[in-house]
Structure 1
């Protein structure tokens, strides 16, 4: 699995958010709402962002029933300013960027990141939002997915 270390600038987003857990995952409902909005925007946004804000102990005491905040969002643009959406700004910083080689929605990529790559790397997890970037396609099996994990040197 290929990884790129990137230093990102702050970025603002608008979209929908909900508290959820992996065992009570409502992501499809959020994506459906966002896709309806996206279709109404004159120039469809190219990228969809799946942003996750985890509690500080989420990965130390992992349980699929632990809640976190999930956002599905578009980059904020003047076109979206008139829509009644929640907003979030990511502060930027150092991220490990992975392309999901297993295909959209396959959780094996996260096992590889957190059980293989991260422990053997020169980095540790940082307490900032995680996010995935999707480029929607007509054929859902062709969706490109980049995964961004917040990191800092060990």
Structure 2
């Protein structure tokens, strides 16, 4: 379960977002609102879907702490944004990239390992940039053979 360290380039995304907490998790609602409309987005790059989370500074992953979640796709330009959708630009930066295989229901222990075991014992700390998963061709919703990449923003510890 060791990550690969990669520099993610500045990337433009168009999609939808919602603010919620882990206790009142609304990702299903977010993706149900996005998926039927994703074909309206022009100038897409690739076929991957981006499941992005933006945490406030000092976020402690508590069950009632709000964060912003995005359902989005990468685009080459922001020239046309469908009504009801918004833009997000992920800045370039270093990421720890983990490969995850399994269902969303089985993911919490994997994320717990990243944040409570791998990260504290590594030479890195969290950076204040978006966290995201890239859902590519091996992603299959609610399938135990589904695969995705988990990108955690990091920087060297001082």
State the Cα deviation string for residues 85-116 of structure 1 (Å, max 9, x = none).
20000112000000114x13121111110111
Are positions 1:20 and 2:20 aligned together?
yes
Residue 145 of structure 1: how far off its partner (Å)? 1.2
The residue that corresponds to 1:91 in the other structure is 91
Residue 80 of structure 1: how far off its partner (Å)? 8.6
On the 8 A contact 1:41/1:80 being kept in 2, the answer is no
Alpha carbons of 1:83 and 1:108: their partners in 2 closer, same or farther (altered >3 Å)?
A: same
- Secondary structure of 2:120's partner? helix
Name whichever structure is richer in helix by fraction. Answer: 1
Are positions 1:64 and 2:63 aligned together?
yes
On the 8 A contact 2:41/2:81 being kept in 1, the answer is no
Alpha carbons of 1:11 and 1:120: their partners in 2 closer, same or farther (altered >3 Å)?
A: same
Gaps of 5+ in 2: none
Query: How many residues are aligned here?
Result: 151
State the Cα deviation string for residues 69-92 of structure 1 (Å, max 9, x = none).
111101125699252220000112
Moved over 3 A (4+): 39-45, 77-80, 136-139
Alpha carbons of 1:152 and 1:139: their partners in 2 closer, same or farther (altered >3 Å)?
A: closer
The 1-side partners of 2:151 and 2:18 are apart by 20
- Secondary structure of 1:51's partner? strand
Residue 137 of structure 1: how far off its partner (Å)? 6.2
Correspondent of 1:151 among 126, 149, 154 = 154
The 1-side partners of 2:52 and 2:22 are apart by 14
Residue 139 of structure 1: how far off its partner (Å)? 4.8
The 2-side partners of 1:131 and 1:77 are apart by 19
TM-score (norm 2): 0.84
On the 8 A contact 2:45/2:74 being kept in 1, the answer is no
The residue that corresponds to 2:38 in the other structure is 38
The residue that corresponds to 1:49 in the other structure is 50
Residue 55 of structure 1: how far off its partner (Å)? 1.1
The 2-side partners of 1:33 and 1:132 are apart by 18
On the 8 A contact 2:14/2:81 being kept in 1, the answer is no
Bigger shift: 123-132 or 32-41? Answer: 32-41
